[in-house]
Amino acid sequence: MADAVEVVIGLEVHVELKTESKIFCACSTRFGSPPNTQVCPICLGHPGTLPVLNLKALELAVRAALALNCKVARYTKFDRKNYFYPDLPKGYQISQYDAPLAEHGWLEFRVDGRMRTARIRRVHLEEDAGKLMHDEVTGETLVDFNRCGVPLIEVVTEPDLRSPREARAFMEELRAVLQYAEVSDCRMQEGSLRCDANISLRPRGATDLGTKAEIKNLNSFRALEKALEYEVARQTRALERGERLVLETRGWDEGRQVTVPLRTKEEAHDYRYFPEPDLVPMTLDPEWVEQIRRSLPELPSQRMARFQAEYGLPAYDAGVIVASRRLADFFEECVRHYPHPKTVSNWVMGQVLGYLNSRGLEPEELNFEPERLAELLRMVDEGVISVSVAREVFEEAVSTGKSPRALVEEKGLEQLSDTGALAAVVRQVIEEHPSPVRDYRRGKVKALGFLMGQVMKKTAGKANPQLARRLLEEALATEREETP
């Protein structure tokens, strides 16, 4: 059955744009302020107030559209989407309906090592709504209007995604592209990147779309993938039983890991769209659009190709690193100071990402200069510290913000690389442990490990391991010659 059925997924993604002020008034867009402290008569929908478009929002939206390979409209306008909800102060959302900012784009992404492309149907600009907060104790619902009027773009894909994994990979690539283009922070946990998914099944080879469900409340990449997997199973089961699916909106219940029905088509809103009379239609100057296009930075797919070609990184490494612009910038800067790309890549993917993941941080929150990592790696090469000490120094440097070299000095972590001093320790170890020395000389090579351990113990781990091993081997060989 599973192979006879094709999964069809399309996404509607809402992305908050990184502007200082809201889309139609001068209020701040900062996240996390106390409720209703970033509001004014305009974003509260007071009588008599009017919207004025923030041109920075328009510019960022055009930037996003260009990064997604869309055709930006010459003529575009705003429309009102009418519905009642307490988080919507005017009783309508200023959005775009039949003349969106941009259309006909595409985004290439990688899934399981293969490249796939999804078409972007449209990108349009709109305002965000407020947030409802339910007080569990009193049963009251309160509204925070801080988010109300934050600029959003809605990115709508064609139904080109064929599995939950693809949907997730697409979203990850979309996030990377929008971060690269510097249009959004794309923080899903802060709601600056939100996604609804349309999913339906059809017999493989069919061209008509099956009856879809729209899934809402997908607050993480994981939730997106899990909810879609659940839907594939639910819809498959229903079709196997011969049931008819209904066109409906469902919500992802994170706690129970299921989707639940929210409303059916009969209950759907009639939004009564009409042109927003308070804002004049816009004619975008193609030269301005071209200027924005020229100012776009290298995007993740281009950068990945370059990382493979220029630094000789494996596709996997390049993919992991370019997924975050900050991480990729970090990598490149570090390589500039320490020109061993594969070593840097190993450290970035291992230590750096490991550190971030263990604390639930985003790469943007990394408080560590790439020059510092280069400095650390150079100390390993110079034999000043061992790799294992370097790992500890990294952890400490990242969390304290101190320079690795200062930490090494402060804590006296330098390796003992002084041949004379180390030779004395080696001699001492050999004298104190005649039995393992004998074993080694009789060919029991494993005994060398024990002797090395003793050297490290006596030097509190600071002995340069390569040097210690060489001196130990030399000493053992010499003394054997002397014995007979």
Partner 1 sequence: MRCQQRMRKMDEGCLTDLSVHQLRVLLERGEVAPRDVHEAYVRRIEEVDDQLNAYITVCPDFPPELENRHGRPVFPVAVKDNIMTRGIRTTCGSRILARFIPPYDATAILRLKERGLYVLGKTNMDEFAMGSSCENSAFGPTRNPWNLDAVPGGSSGGSAAAVAAGEAPWALGSDTGGSVRQPAALCGVVGMKPTYGRVSRFGLVAFASSLDQIGPITRDVWDCWVLMRALCGHDPLDSTSAPGQAPIPPPQSVESLGGVRIGVPREYLGPGVEDAVRDAVLKAVGVLEELGARAEECSLPHTEYGLSAYYIIAPAEASSNLARYDGVRYGHRTCQASSLLDMYELTRQEGFGAEVKRRIMLGTYVLSAGYYDAYYLRAQKVRTLICRDFERAWARYDLLAAPTSPTVAFPLGERTADPLAMYMADVLTIPVNLAGLPALSLPCGFARGLPVGLQLIGRPFDELTLLRVAQAFQQATDYHLYRPVVGGEVDG
> Which residues contact partner 1 by CB under 8 A?
41, 44-53, 80, 82, 84, 86, 89-92, 143, 270, 272-274, 277-280
For 9, the enclosing helix (H) or strand (E) is strand 5-16
46 versus 104: smaller Cβ distance to partner 1: 46
- Indicate the residue among 22 and 462 with the shorter CB distance to partner 1: 22
In sequence order, the 6+-apart residues with CB closer than 8 A to the CB of 251 are: 215, 216, 217, 259, 260, 262
Residue closer to partner 1 by CB (options 86, 453) is 86
User: Nearest approach, Cβ of 88 to partner 1 (angstroms)?
Assistant: 9
CB burial string 234-257: b at 16+ within 10 A, e below: bbeeebeeeeeeeebbbbbeeeee
Contact status, residue 97 vs residue 79, Cβ threshold 8 Å? yes
**Is the CB of residue 79 less than 8 Å from the CB of residue 275?**
yes
Q: In this complex, which beta carbon is closest to partner 1, that of residue 46 or of residue 263?
A: 46
We find the least distance from the C-beta atom of residue 77 to partner 1, in angstroms, to be: 12
Sign, CA torsion 310/315/317/321: positive
Please, are residues 53 and 194 in contact by the beta-carbon 8 Å criterion? no
Per the CB < 8 A criterion, the answer to whether 144 and 36 are in contact is yes
Contact 178, 67 (CB under 8 A): yes
What is the smallest separation between the CB atom of 40 and partner 1, expressed in angstroms?
A: 9
Complex with partner 1: residue 90 or 194, whichever CB lies closer: 90
CB of 289 to partner 1, least distance (A): 21
User: Given the complex with partner 1, which of 51 and 319 has the nearer CB atom?
Assistant: 51
Tokens of 272: 């009564």
Give whichever of 84 and 256 is closer to partner 1, judged by the CB atom: 84
Nearer to partner 1, 247 or 460 (CB): 247
CB of 46 to partner 1, least distance (A): 7
Closer CB to partner 1, 260 or 268, in the complex: 268
- CB of 58: closest distance to partner 1 in angstroms? 13
User: C-beta of 75: minimal distance to partner 1 in Å?
Assistant: 16
Please state the closest distance from residue 275 (CB atom) to partner 1, in A. 9
If you search the block for the tokens 């706690």, which residue do you land on? 255
User: Least distance from C-beta 30 to partner 1, angstroms?
Assistant: 22
CB of 347 to partner 1, least distance (A): 52
- Select from 418, 430, 432 the least CA-distant residue to 477: 430
Q: Give whichever of 145 and 307 is closer to partner 1, judged by the CB atom.
A: 145
**Between the CA of residue 322 and those of 223, 326, 463, what are the distances in Å?**
23, 8, 37
Nearest Cα to Cα of residue 322 among 106, 120, 107, 177: 177
Q: How many helices (H) and strands (E) does the chain have?
A: 16, 16
Amino acid at 439: D
Question: How many Å apart are CA 36 and CA 116, to the nearest integer?
Answer: 43
Contact of 152 with 15, CB cutoff 8 Å: yes
Q: Nearest CA to 80 among 94, 65, 100?
A: 94
